[in-house]
Amino acid sequence: MIIPVRCFSCGKVVGDRWTQYLALLESGHTEGDALDGLGLKRYCCRRMVLTHVDLIEKLLHCELYPLTT
């Protein structure tokens, strides 16, 4: 799925923080510390980031139509 631009509940912009969130996780921060560092205090906004599954990377590896010659 595409990263949601806004929180579905309150409308706060959360999509611009996705790459920063991943960078914080790779540097060793916990999920809670990373979300706090990004300024996501509301539980609805935290839910949007925590529950997002980045399917685009997985779909790029799939072959939808077999090649026929």
3 state SS of 27: coil
pLDDT digits (tens, 9 = 90+) for 15-53: 999 999 999 999 999 999 999 999 999 999 999 999 988
pLDDT digits (tens, 9 = 90+) for 52-61: 887 877 777 7
Per-domain residue ranges of the chain: 1-69
Judged by phi (left if over 0) then psi (alpha if -120 to 50, else beta), residue 32 lies in alpha
> Regarding the domain delimited by 1-69, which CATH topology (the fold level of the hierarchy) does it fall under?
Arc Repressor Mutant, subunit A (1.10.10)
Q: Which two tokens stand for residue 6?
A: 């806004």
Rg (alpha carbons) of the chain, rounded to whole number:
15
> What pLDDT shows up at residue 69?
63
Report d(CA 56, CA 53) in Å as an integer.
Answer: 9
pLDDT digits (tens, 9 = 90+) for 5-21: 999 999 999 999 999 99
CB atoms closer than 10 angstroms to residue 59: 10
